[in-house]
Amino acid sequence: MSTHQAEKLFSEFQAASKEDWEELIKNDLNGADYREKLMWDTMEGFSLPPFSTSDDFIKKESTASHIQTTAWLCCEFVTESPISKANEAIRKALEGGADACLIRSGITADPDQDNYKMTGVPIQSQADMEKLIEGIEQKAELIFDCGMASPAMIAMLSNCEGHRLRSSAVFDPLTEAAKSGTFPVQLADIKNMIQDLCEHAGPNILCADVAFYHNAGATIIQELGIALALGSEYLAMSDEKLRSKTADNLFLKLGTGPFFFPEIAKYRAIRTLWPKMLNAYGINNPKPLRIFAETGKTNKTISDPYNNLLRSVTEAMSAVTGGADILMVYPFDSESGETDYFSLRIARNIQHILREEAHFNKTDDPSSGSYYIEMLTEKIASESWKYFQQIESQGGFLCVLENGFLQREISGSREKKENEYAAGRRVLIGTNQFPDPGQKLSTGSNNAPAVTLHTRPDFVHNEPSDGFNFMHYKKAFASGAVLGELIGELYKHGKEMFLAIEEFRAGAAFDEIKLRTQTRITQYGRRPCARLVPVGNARWRDARAQFSQNVFECAGFEVRKSEGYDHVDEAIAEKDSGTADIYVLCSSDEGYDMFTEKFCGHFSGKGILILAVKPAGKEEIFREMGVDEFIFKGMNLPAFLIKIQDTLNTKGAG
């Protein structure tokens, strides 16, 4: 339809301005300001109004040429050990439609002795690398996420005769420092590594791994501000003549959260901000930023894990709509450590459905022109740039890491999110709402144990006098060196210098509570039981009984309830079927005044006595009657359930 036809079609309708809508809302709110009543605090570093109009749309230059959803690569992570299993996993992934594989391993060290260990895929030598890529399709891309050992992996791969595999590395030594609380090597060595790798190791060797900060609880605004700060820090470390090459080698790794539209806008916003940051270093017309996206971990649970599938679908949609170049969807059971071929295939098929059935790969920048998403993009870009400037005003990424600003900021954001989940204001279906109390959580793991990096007694390594040298690494591995003999140049463990940043899962507290219940079941042979006693006003007793049921089922307890009673005497007359550990009176506010004393008089000594109400000024009165605890909407649910479990464990089997 032409613009002229569209104008003619709607000409009989009177246009409504933003002011018209605001006046209508004001009338509906009896004169109250909607900016105070209805603003959405996203807890992601920005707030949003309850509506938007075309007046909010700010026309910008099109970014469609930089957002090619048709080009996104489907990636699968590989952590198998030994090498033969890792090779098999890569083959299966590629045969199943993956375009790339992320090879994950990590290096840990004993701070008191030179004892390095490796987790994940144990690539220690040139021979190991050749076994890893044997028979792998040449069109595939291998992405090495091996911490400080990533450059060594690229060196080994480049030595493999006749290989034409694309490769990149999640090499981010400053984020490695944030994870451990100490720099992996001296800052001068990090600077030398960056310059040498960008000059000799090929493209995409340097990464700003912002997904880590996402999984630590950072807000969207913090994520993008940190991304810019990391990029700026690496550029500042590079000599001026190498900055353009460093910028070309930098790519971004982003985690994707549960807020569909803000996450789309996040990806679009960073593409407008990244060139702006590069321009400050005199880098004009840079190549488009490459973005590696992965589904987030903070909202993934061990309990009711199939819900993780649904969460991952929306996150994957946000990432590809926003313009991710590579996407990795974690399997639904990855948090339990029991990932198998089935869950890997299902994760991969999420992307296949988006491509082959939903046709997300048919349109470049599909969200362009949506004034709501454009408004979100502008909002997020503006706030993220301010956050980046706040970091830079303190001296940059290194300074805010060393002075603790970054840790405090992320910790504050994480604490707010944890409190929201604990109080049920943010929902995790199957975990803090609508749980399956009978589900048995997995405590196992299919991850192979760490292996010690080995050395050869007769090997003599001559470390380059000018520090790290990529070409030296290539020659060393080609001549038979193993990683254990060279790792000291890449990772020199030291004492903690600042507070380390840790990842978190919102459902971890609830999962731990359920695991404690499973331990008790094993010990005593039965599930803890809460009996609900709904009395009085039917509407209030039913609502509070439903709330109480959810509370105790979150811990994996058995819950018994009746249809309800008009008076507490009826509940007293009914005999218990089995043994209850907890008795919960559910009634109206007025009902508690009438029924609590008799409820406590009968059930006292039989178990923990609880009222399903916020006691306000009557707590002392109710406790004198014999009430032990109270449950109510907005309470810290994990703290309460742990307290109940501790009380039951003190009493034993009951």
Residue 378: give its domain's CATH number.
3.20.20.240
For residues 79 and 114, membership in a common domain is answered with: yes
Domain count, the chain: 3
Cα 89 to Cα 104: distance, rounded to the nearest angstrom: 12
Alpha-carbon distances, residue 379 vs 35, 36, 257, 293 (angstroms): 16, 19, 18, 21
pLDDT one-digit tens code per residue, 537-571:
999 999 999 999 999 999 999 999 888 898 988 88
CB atoms within 10 A of CB 582: 25
- Is the pLDDT assigned to residue 295 strictly greater than 60? yes
pLDDT at 6: 52
Query: Does 515 fall in a domain?
Result: yes
Residues 243, 371 within the same domain:
yes
Residues 6+ apart with CB under 8 A from 343: 331, 332, 333, 334
Q: How many CB atoms lie within 10 A of CB 280?
A: 11
pLDDT of residue 461: 61
Q: Check pLDDT > 50 for residue 61.
A: no
153-204 confidence digits (pLDDT tens): 999 999 997 777 889 999 999 999 999 999 998 898 999 999 999 888 888 9
DSSP reduced 3-state for 443: coil
The whole-angstrom separation of Cα 625 and Cα 521 is 31
CA R_g for the chain: 29
312 lies in some domain: yes
How confident is the model at residue 62, as a pLDDT? 40
38, HSE (Cβ side, Cα atoms, 13 Å): 12
Q: What percent of the chain has pLDDT over 70?
A: 92
Instruction: Give a yes or no: residue 501 inside a domain.
Output: no
Read off φ and ψ for residue 342, nearest 5 degrees: -60, -50
Phi, psi (degrees; rounded to nearest 5) at 74: -85, 120
Q: In this model, does residue 16 exceed pLDDT 90?
A: no
Nearest Cα neighbor of 513 from 580, 425, 422 is: 422
Cα 235 to the center of its chain, rounded Å: 27
Residues contacting 471, CB < 8 A, separation 6+: 200
Residues 40 and 135 in one domain: no
CB atoms within 10 A of CB 635: 16
How many CA atoms does the CB half-sphere of 91 hold within 13 Å? 12
Distance CA 328, CA 347 (A): 9
Q: Answer yes or no: do 148 and 32 share one domain.
A: no
| Interatomic CA distance for residues 517 and 523, integer angstroms | 10
Nearest CA to 249 among 313, 168, 353?
A: 168
| Tokens found for residue 102 | 């992320």
Cβ(130)–Cβ(160) below 8 Å: yes
Residue with tokens 């021979």: 127
CB burial of 209-239 (b: ≥16 within 10 Å; e: otherwise) equals bbbbbbbbbbbbbbbbbbbbbbbbbbbebbe
Question: pLDDT class for 132, splitting at 50, 70, 90?
Answer: very high
Q: Are residues 253 and 201 located together in one domain of the fold?
A: yes
pLDDT at residue 445, as a whole number: 61
On whether residue 500 sits in a domain, the answer given is: no
pLDDT at 518: 94
Q: pLDDT-based confidence at 307, cuts 50/70/90?
A: very high
Cα–Cα distance, 441 to 176 (Å, whole number): 32
- Of the candidates 275, 269, 306, 308, which has an alpha carbon nearest to the alpha carbon of residue 289? 275
Q: Find the helix packing angle between 220-237 and 405-422, rounded to 10°.
A: 160
Same domain, 407 and 311: yes
Same domain, 413 and 546: no
Q: What is the mean pLDDT of the chain?
A: 89
In a domain? residue 11? no
Residue 495: its pLDDT value, please? Answer: 76
pLDDT on residue 63: 44
Residues 6+ apart with CB under 8 A from 234: 174, 194, 206, 208, 246, 250
pLDDT score of 509: 95
Residue-wise pLDDT for 358-404, tens only, equals 999 888 888 887 888 988 999 999 999 999 999 999 999 999 999 99
Beta strand 47-48 with 40-41: parallel, antiparallel or unpaired?
antiparallel
Check residue 488 and give its pLDDT: 82
Residue 541 sits in a domain whose CATH number is: 3.40.50.280
**Residue 41 shares a structural domain with residue 107:** no
Q: Are residues 530 and 594 in the same domain?
A: yes
Residue 467 lies in a domain: no
> So what's the pLDDT on residue 446?
60
Mark whether 409 and 517 lie in a shared domain.
no
What is the per-residue pLDDT across 396-441, written as a single tens digit (0 to 9) for each? Answer: 999 999 999 999 999 999 999 999 999 999 999 999 999 998 888 8
Tokens 């009395």: give the residue.
535
| Crossing angle of the two packed helices 220-237 and 173-180, in degrees rounded to 10 | 120
**Distances in Å between the alpha carbon of 530 and those of 581, 608, 652?**
6, 9, 16
In-domain check, residue 433 = no
How far CA 471 is from CA of 132, 225, 250, 356, 645, in Å, comes to 22, 34, 20, 43, 59
Q: Are residues 382 and 346 part of one domain?
A: yes
Q: What is the pLDDT of residue 366?
A: 85
Residue after which a domain boundary falls, among 490, 517, 541: 490
Picking from 433, 457, 490, the residue at the C-terminal end of a domain is 490
On the question of pLDDT at 324 being above 80, the answer is: yes
Domain around 335: 69-422+484-490
Q: Is residue 449 part of a domain?
A: no
Q: Are strands 73-78 and 206-209 parallel, antiparallel or unpaired?
A: unpaired
Which pairing describes strands 100-109 and 116-120: parallel, antiparallel, or unpaired?
A: antiparallel
The residue-averaged pLDDT of 468-486 equals: 89
User: What pTM value is reported for the model?
Assistant: 0.92
Contact predicate 45/387, CB 8 Å: yes
What is the pLDDT at residue 112? 58
How far is residue 360's CA from residue 353's CA, in Å, rounded to a whole number?
Answer: 9
Task: Please tell me whether residues 284 and 403 are part of one structural domain.
Answer: yes
